[in-house]
Structure 1
């Protein structure tokens, strides 16, 4: 019998379940999810953009080109400046503390603060809008996905700070290397683990046939660790020669650019404000969640 990502204990380590599904049940119906499940990279990557599936949209998917239009250089520069300014303000606020939680004190604030600065909305009002789920109406469907960027940023910082070698490699790294580390974090620990789609008609996949009108769960977390696609998939390796991620599409989208900027300036601001930044003694980040997943806390010693 196929295991379910919703079974008890899956929130602590879903990757064991994903491995069994990929190897033994690449296409199965899950009664808890009430959906057919696809877990292999080739199937999931195809279904995310296949016109035979409907319902759902990722930032960077083809519809973004129609929604956002051509990128505006001036707006892009303004967004970069707002992201940098917000990240450095937040980092300086916690630099003098003996201990801090980067999730609560940094990751929770940067995505909303960046958007607030970029659109000229007072920060306190942006946080009220986010809590009221009105951010999308203000800044658009893609850029309004602030909670996803918050979780992605937390996962990225946890992955880097958990490995002293990565800390040294990325402390003064060029933008290109930081971008590769960001992509690797999205692959290894995506903030959105499961996305739902529905078939428009009968669909033949590499793992079997889906009936027409079927609800389908695409396991992004399982696809990102598929050994048929990635070498040593459980390892965090920004220099891997087979990069890839499914959290965002590959098209032009301001939200995709914004998430990458937040990751880059988060690292730069934290390491500049706190050159000796490290995890607190005995602390190891723990990822939790099933549909969305990220560390609940990242306890650090700003002064080393």
Structure 2
């Protein structure tokens, strides 16, 4: 299992979950200890004895059912498929993302991020995101139908990186995608695939309501930023991030020993009803906003992804004022580790 991840903006990278596993004997004993005690012991003794896995095949279509069971009944459990302890409640996941006792994850402000950020000009990032978005939007404006995932989201993050480092537009996909991007633009801004997924989910959420899309197109940047944050909360492109405990940590449901791998269910935490009202609803105007944060520092990937979302929306509706989803089309998100619509069919001319 291999993923390059960043919940929202390409900040984190992790690979090969099984390599982070404790020894099999310790894992089995630990899993048994968690599942035989705690506030839900009565329910488990009555029928449910094993926690579901977020990697269960049935979770591909809708992982949030599994997430709900884990949040409510198994706030701390050991997952044999992930080979890691699993946290699913907002409070626990938020702690694991920011607490120094959880290691092996990039946080904004960490040395590699801080070094990249020293040379970042926010005005220039905004300019290259806008320029690239408008070029791409005009390329599809005259088509009877387009797929925004393949024809727009797939290109915009690579294009902004290319423009930021001075790579000619014709060469951007050859030079910027994948690992070459990290060499060209630094570790943070170089991770492109997750920004594509985040952008696809954002456009799917916004275009699902034609009036909402038009209102946001004319809205100030701050309101579009709120809509972007809400999309990251409800439909994060990365569903699972991995950390390791550097010390013993007390969480909901028990204590995780030092030196253990921990899988953080970003998607479950973002829909925790203890933190958000009507958590399954996309509401860019919600009065209890918020998303999981990864540190107190500033990351160029965070800024770039937000600018890409803003100018994607503005450019698409400027070039295609009557843009709407294709007749009968409903975006379908797939994936267990990373998750986003595979296609986003639209009619540029309405």
TM more than 0.5: yes
When normalised by structure 1's length, the TM-score is 0.94
Residue aligning to 1:192: 238
Residue aligning to 1:137: 183
For residues 134 and 224 of structure 1, the distance between their equivalents in structure 2, rounded to whole angstroms, comes to 32
When normalised by structure 2's length, the TM-score is 0.82
The SS at the match of 1:184 is helix
For residues 212 and 119 of structure 2, the distance between their equivalents in structure 1, rounded to whole angstroms, comes to 32
For residues 61 and 193 of structure 1, the distance between their equivalents in structure 2, rounded to whole angstroms, comes to 22
Structure 2: unaligned runs, 5 residues or longer: 1-49
Residue aligning to 1:156: 202
Equivalent residue for 1:269, pick from 309, 312, 315: 315
Residue aligning to 2:148: 102
Q: May I ask how many residue pairs the two structures share in their alignment?
A: 301
Q: Is the 8 A contact 1:43 1:207 kept in 2?
A: no
Residue aligning to 1:175: 221
- Give yes or no for the alignment of 1:82 onto 2:125: no
Change (3 A) 1:239 1:200: same
Residues 138-189 of structure 1 deviation map (CA, whole Å, 9 limit, x = unaligned): 2111101111111000000000111233223213111111010000000000
Pairing of 1:1-304 with structure 2 (within 5 A)? 1-58=50-107, 60=108, 62-63=110-111, 66-68=114-116, 75-246=121-292, 249-304=295-350
Structure 1: unaligned runs, 5 residues or longer: none
Instruction: Output the aligned Cα RMSD.
Output: 1.7
Following superposition, the deviation at residue 209 of structure 1 comes to 0.3
Residues 31-69 of structure 1 deviation map (CA, whole Å, 9 limit, x = unaligned): 1111100000000000011111111214x3555664345
Q: Is the 8 A contact 1:61 1:248 kept in 2?
A: no
Q: Is the 8 A contact 2:226 2:284 kept in 1?
A: yes
Q: Is the 8 A contact 1:187 1:247 kept in 2?
A: no
For residues 247 and 114 of structure 1, the distance between their equivalents in structure 2, rounded to whole angstroms, comes to 24
For residues 201 and 165 of structure 2, the distance between their equivalents in structure 1, rounded to whole angstroms, comes to 26
